[in-house]
Structure 1
Amino acid sequence: MLIKGYDEGPLVAGESLLARLGFWSNHLLVLCSDGSCGEPPSPECFGDDGADTDAMSEVLFDPEHWPAFRVPATDGLGAVVIYRNLVGDYGTDYLLTHPGRSYAQQVASWEAGFSGAGLTWQELVRIADNPYSAAEGVQDTAARLLLLLPHLMDSDLPTAVLARLTTALTVVGAPQDTAATTAEHLLAHLARRSRHDPTWESPLSGS
């Protein structure tokens, strides 16, 4: 698999992994890995268990296969999430695709923490809610939102965010009775990150 603009690693299409147990706990628990959320969610909060999470970790972090998740959008403003599985340098890279540009641009990464340019909530929702069915990639709006959630950096989130995130978590398999609490934990970390990095720039707004 090739993505123009990203020349590292043996990329493989990762979209089929989204429906497997253990994916969302692997992808989202990292947001609370520094303890800033208080008591962090467990794999069960995403509808998984520890065995599911461990088994999926072996797939997601395989140095021989780097899963790439394409998030195409109708207006051309899309994204790609790549698990960068260099031995000793594991991380997640976030790329954006732009109208009229034949290559993707890496704008951020997650290693021990987030670095690079973040998305505002409005920008994230614009990508999530406009899937491009004619292109290969993730089409489900809930999955698109959650894939890009670690890329969110917005110090002024609207009140509707909690309900939207709670709904998205239940769509991908999180238990309904704990989804709101899990969403609160994830948002607590994102809000803290925004306060600590007030000079972030949005890669879509031109700031």
Structure 2
Amino acid sequence: MLIPGYQDRFSEDVNVTARAVDGWHLAARPGFWAQYWRELLLPDEDDLLSEVWGATGDDLDELFDSEAWPVLRVGLGGGAELAVVFRNLHEDGGVDFLVLPSGGRDAIEIAGLDGHQTGPGLSWAELVAVAGRQHNPVRRAQTLMLLAPAFGDEAAENPDAVALLAEAMRTLGANGDTERVAMAAVSDEVHFWGHVPWAAGVPASEYAPRNPDSVFALPEASRRLVTELLMP
């Protein structure tokens, strides 16, 4: 699978195009969401996640431990996409969140979850808007769940956000106390960066590529394009 520009960040012996494969079939496996959120969002809620989803996801070895790099892509409209890449490199693994502009232009990384995390990459309003652009209720729910680890926004700390995430979980087959899981996801104690204020598409985080004052700041043109493509 070709991801323009993404190859450039790796050494020449890493053939990203050969390793990157469509990963949406994994999202239909029992335990996928339990393992995904446990690894990237709520590491302290292992028992609750397993209970709500009815499985642990420990059988999904190919998600993090394979030579293949599963990629899950969602449409942003106009040919643009947002891709989640499981970067299964030995000793440098992680999950990257990329905006893929239309026309084959280079990917723009808005968040990366690993030992040196960058983000958040999405505001709550952007997350909800991207999910709302999807073509059916299941894909909308999957998109909310998939992109949730990349968002970090204090605006999500409200009952409406809890209800929306809980309903997305139930749409995908979760049972039990989905509201408790959703409340944990919008609390300020989530993994990596918690929730921060946003203003005009800029998160108040020193780790965020979308913050022009961050050491990881994207070029201005890339930041503007990302804001345009994700605009609610």
Deviation of 1:180 (Å) = 0.7
**Whole-angstrom distance in 1 between the partners of 2:180 and 2:135:** 31
Q: Which residue pairs with 1:136 in the alignment?
A: none
What is the one-letter code of the residue matched to 2:49? S
Residue from 26, 35, 51 that aligns with 2:35: 26
Q: Is the 1:45–1:179 contact (alpha carbons within 8 Å) kept by the matching residues of 2?
A: yes
SS at match of 1:93: strand
2:158 counterpart of 1:123: no
Equivalence for 1:161: 161
Shift of 1:193: 1.1
Asked if 1:205 corresponds to 2:227, the answer is yes
Residues of 2 paired with 1:70 and 1:195: CA distance?
26
Shift of 1:117: 4.5
Deviation (angstroms), 1:81: 0.2
CA distance in 1: counterparts of 2:49 and 2:178, whole angstroms = 12
Q: Any unmatched runs of 5+ in structure 1?
A: 134-138
2: CA distance, partners of 1:159 / 1:100: 39
2:105 equivalent among 89, 102, 105: 102
CA contact (8 A) 2:34 2:53 kept: yes
- Per the TM alignment, residue 171 of structure 1 is displaced from its structure 2 partner at its CA by 1.1
Q: Residues of 2 paired with 1:198 and 1:74: CA distance? A: 27
Structure 2 residues without counterparts, runs of 5 or longer = 11-15, 198-202, 212-222
Alpha-carbon offset, residue 164 of structure 1: 0.4
In structure 1, C-alpha distance between the alignment counterparts of 2:89 and 2:194, rounded to whole Å: 26
Q: Amino acid of the residue matched to residue 42 of structure 1?
A: L
- Counterpart CA distance in 1 for 2:71 and 2:106 is 15
User: Is 1:67–2:70 an aligned residue pair?
Assistant: yes
Moved more, 72-81 or 197-206: 197-206
Checking the alignment, whether the CA contact within 8 Å between 1:29 and 1:41 is kept in structure 2 is no
* 8 A contact 1:77–1:127 mirrored in 2: no
Shift of residue 90, structure 1, vs aligned partner: 1.6
SS of equivalent residue, structure 1 residue 67: strand
> 1:44 aligns to what?
51
Checking the alignment, whether the CA contact within 8 Å between 1:91 and 1:109 is kept in structure 2 is yes
| TM-score in terms of structure 1 length | 0.80
- CA shift, 1:76, in A, is 4.5
Q: 1:77 to 1:18 in 2, by over 3 A?
A: same
* 1:113/1:25 CA distance change after superposition, 3 Å: farther
- 1:77–1:98 CA contact under 8 A, matched in 2: yes
Tell whether the 8 Å contact from 1:70 to 1:79 is kept in structure 2 after alignment.
Answer: yes
- 1:83 Cα deviation after fit: 0.5
- The whole-number CA distance in structure 2 between the counterparts of 1:113 and 1:178 is 32
Q: Confirm or deny: 8 A CA contact 1:152 1:190 kept in the other structure.
A: no
> How many pairs are equivalent?
194
**Distance across 1 between alignment mates of 2:204 and 2:69:** 32
Matches within 5 A, 1:119-158: 119-131=122-134, 140-157=139-156, 158=158
